[in-house]
Chain A
């Protein structure tokens, strides 16, 4: 049974916080292989993470 995009985004988000189970990993990978939107989504939440980690360096000193 193929994951929906909604479920895939939940897993992609969870993967940033915990180790997915093997079955979750497989389902997510199968979904990403055929879904461009979810591949973009996964990349984008990755970028959001790098941005968060670098946020402190980019706070303006003004006001």
Chain B
């Protein structure tokens, strides 16, 4: 099935948001989306998935290619950089490494309902934006784009240990932010 550019253009805003969320750079996001649409025009859409899913698949490849290219040119300021510091979460634990009484995670009510709520997704996006850029990138590759650790390490030329520390930070920070801004006892849902 050949695609006309109008049908593709309709998905552009969505692709742009997706790319921006991963890359955190409007110019780069524009570029990868442009390349994606061009590639889509030249390819043929088999219609086995929705057009959006298919386009998102192409976009992911373009994003990973870009990330790979960038890390080749400017290898990750990985070792010993901010990304690897864990002490920013130290305050959650006491000296023996146990949760302080106020930071001990409480159970989240109705997580299923949250995933159905538009507002929840807005909070999620805002929380994701609080992560440092590199942390957000690794997190996205792992949890949004579903890449495995080896692929991520290779693309970013970082070690597996590095990667796992970064992911830990990402999860800690996102969990804390969602807890405070959505599930939290005082603010609470809706």
Contacts and interface: CB of A to CB of B under 8 A. Distances in A.
Interface of A: 4-7, 9-10, 13-14, 16-18, 36-38, 40-41, 43-45, 47-56, 58-63
Contacts of A45: 171, 175
Contacts of A4: 93, 96-98
B174 A5 contact: no
Interface in B104-123: 104-108, 111, 115, 118, 121-122
Given A18-B149, A40-B105, A51 B99 contact: no
B144 interface: yes
Contacts of B140: 52
B105 A56 contact: no
Interface stretch (B13-21, B29-37, B63-71, B76-84): B13-21
A35 to B, nearest CB: 8
Contact of A61 (B14, B142, B149, B167): B14
Given A5-B98, A45-B171, A60-B17, A37 B105 contact: yes
Main secondary structure of the interface of B (DSSP, over half): helix
Contact of B108 (A5, A40, A54): A40
A9 B106 CA distance: 14
Given A6-B93, A52-B143, 13 more contacts: A13-B168, A16-B171, A18-B160, A37-B99, A37-B104, A37-B105, A52-B144, A54-B115, A55-B121, A59-B14, A59-B17, A59-B18, A60-B122
B150 to A, nearest CB: 10
B68 to A, nearest CB: 20
26 contacts: A4-B93, A4-B96, A4-B98, A5-B99, A9-B172, A13-B171, A14-B168, A37-B105, A38-B105, A40-B106, A40-B108, A43-B107, A45-B175, A47-B108, A47-B111, A48-B143, A48-B171, A48-B174, A48-B175, A49-B143, A52-B143, A54-B115, A55-B144, A56-B56, A59-B14, A59-B21
